[in-house]
Each structure stands twice: as C-alpha cells, then as structure tokens.
Structure 1
Amino acid sequence: MSVVDRIRSLIEPALAPLVVDEVKVTPAGRRRVVRIAVDRATDETVSQSEPTDPMSLDEVAEATRVVSAALDDTDILGEQPYTLEVTSSGVGRPLTRPRHYQRGIGRLVIISRADAPDTRGRILAAGPDDVTISIAATKREPARTETIAYADIAGARIDVEFSRAESDA
C-alpha cells in the first residue's frame, strides 16, 4: 500500500462527513508537501437540482486540525519533515464523480465527449448516472436542455465566470 493510500485510509474516517477528493505527496527539497483536498459529501445515489453550499474557511480549518492530529499520531510519513496543505476542491478540478457535478449545479460546465464537439451549458441537475445541462441559444440553434450520461463524458470542467449576466440566470 502506497503512502498516499495509507494517508487516505487514515484520514477518511476522521474527516467524516467530509470526503477526501485527493491526496498528493510531493518532494520539496528536504521536505515533502502533503496536499489534501476535501469536499462536502453528497448523496450520489439520487438526482439533485439544488446547489450544495461551498465549504467555509472554518470547515477547512477544522479539517486541517483533524488531519494534522491524525498524521502526528502515526509514523506514516516517517522522520522526514513535511508541510501539510488542506484545501477544499477548487473549480479547476476535473469533474469525475456525480458529487462533483452536484456541487456544480447552477455553474457553467464544458463537457467533452469522444463522439461530439464540446458542449457548454449550465448544470441544472445531476444524478447517479447522468447530468442535465441547459444550453444557451445560438444563431443556429434555440436554447435547449440535454441530459448526458457520465459514461459518455470523456472530460468535464467548470467554466469559470467572472460576472454572470442576469438573463443567463
């Protein structure tokens, strides 16, 4: 079992109800950087159409305390010093699980499929097997909604908006 897998199995129960999205351990000179991305858990077995609140700074701080205490109580990382970074999963994270789409409800997303051009739309709902997006009208096509199975998605990411037009709400 790798050090990343051992860290994940150590901290996941301690962080519940949060979920561990990612664990990375990278060398940084004489030290190592342990980066852990956490997120709120959602029920991936049901369809959801309401956005999930983002994690607060207090929740991330508490997660950092929990992870730090868990790592300090073991010798998983050995004697080599490390720097711990605990963060919430950012908008740059690829969408790979139903809960990632559930967290993105109301946000713009770009979905890539092997058999079609990229699709840009706003997430309306996300369930265990598929995501429903609203696609804005273009000169050639009227506005529409489309449901896309996760199995058909080659890649997806949130399209960051710096200002949202009221008509696009």
Structure 2
Amino acid sequence: MTEQGRGNVADAVREVVGPVVAGAGLWLEDVQVSRAGARSVVRITLDLPEDAIGSLDSDTLAEASREVSAALDADDVVPGVYTLEVSTPGTSRPLTQPRHFRRARTRLVTLRLADGRDLTGRLTDVVEDGDGQALVLEDGARVPLDQVRKAKVEVELKRLEDDDDAAGDAAADDAGETRTQEG
C-alpha cells in the first residue's frame, strides 16, 4: 500500500470513527494507519474535550475502544487484517495547539519562550489577550501564546500522592494509556 493509500485509509477511518468518538463526548486527537508486516496498525488517539479538566479514565477509554472497533468492523474501511490501538496523548505530547494548553489547565507546565527563557508554572487559563491568546499562570503571569516555542506538561508524582482518588487515572493519563484490539 502506498503512503497515499494509507492516507486515504486514515481519512476513511477518521470519517467512520469521528461521529462515534463525538457521541461518546470525546475528542478525536489523531488517526494513523501504517503497515506492520502482513497487517495494518490503526492508531487512534482520544482526549477529553478542550473545556474538560482532568484525565480520560481507563473505563471511558475501554468503552470508546469497543465502540470504535465495532464501527470499523461495520464499515470495513481498513483492508485486510489490522490491529487497533486506542490511546490517550499522555503528558509526553508537546503542547502545540491552543486546545492542548486548555487541556493542560491546572497542570505544571514548562515553556520555552521565543527569547530563549524557560518558564515553569501552573497553567490556570488560556485567554484572549490583546492581539491573540495568552497563557495565564498561577502567579498571575501572562504569556502570549505566540511567544511560546516549546511547551510540555511536567509529571508531578507528589501531587498524585496527595490526591489518592485521582492518582490512578492521572497516572494513566501521564503515561498515555493504550488499548489494543485485533480486527
């Protein structure tokens, strides 16, 4: 299968699973289709909507994975045998889009600014500010989004220990959880 062909399959997968994911109240972050020997691998990355705070829990991810698998089987858009991997972005995802920053609210982030400085702080909001969007940190600092060259969420193990109820789900989100099924 050519690269163009895989792109067409990825587009078809996105078209089939998009409504299923939206119906589950989730965000379809990414779809990738690649070859692995005689079979294809379909990788789907799901997230919570940008206005949600917290992480996508394991039960919701598992249910979404079952629904996505059923939709792909019903529409038969992936030729031949394939492996389906449904996952969350995890904290290793670089923050590159405004929605990524909105999803990172309440989290500790490290920012590399256009002037070369590094800034670390707890992200509280993303707001319209003058000519564009700005990040608001817990200490009140405002950083224009167009001045951020690189950004990532910092994993806070101590914070997870302090919040035992959320520790399991947040740890799964920090790692970027994956569910795999054979199709």
TM range, smaller chain: 0.7 to 0.9
Once the two structures are superposed, the pairs formed by residues 12-161 of structure 1 within 5 Å of their partners are: 12-16=18-22, 17-43=25-51, 52-79=53-80, 81-127=81-127, 129-134=133-138, 144-161=139-156
Question: What secondary structure sits across from 2:75 in the alignment?
Answer: coil
SS at match of 2:141: strand
**Partner letter of residue 70 of structure 2?**
A
Shift of 1:85: 1.0
SS in 2 for 1:116: coil
Q: Runs of 4+ in structure 1 displaced over 6 angstroms? A: none
Count of residues in Structure 1 that have an aligned counterpart in Structure 2: 149
Distance change >3 Å, CA 35–CA 83, structure 1 → 2:
same
Q: CA deviation at 1:150?
A: 2.0
Equivalent residues of 2:47, 2:89 under 8 A apart:
yes
Instruction: Give the secondary-structure state (helix, strand or coil) at the position aligned to 2:155.
Output: coil
**1:89 alignment partner AA:** P
Percent identical pairs in the alignment equals: 37
Q: Distance in 1 between matches of 2:157 and 2:69?
A: 34
* TM-score normalized by the length of structure 1: 0.77
**Deviation, structure 1 residue 96:** 2.2
Instruction: Check the 8 A contact 1:109/1:157 in 2, yes or no.
Output: yes
1:157 is displaced (CA, Å) by 0.8
Stretches of structure 1 that go unaligned for 5 or more consecutive residues are 44-50, 135-143
AA of the residue aligned to 2:31: V
Structure 2: 5+ residue stretches without partners:
1-6, 163-183
> Quick one: distance in 2 between partners of 1:8 and 1:147?
36
Q: Distance in 2 between matches of 1:26 and 1:78?
A: 12
RMSD over aligned Cα, in angstroms?
2.2
**TM superposition score normalised by structure 2:** 0.72
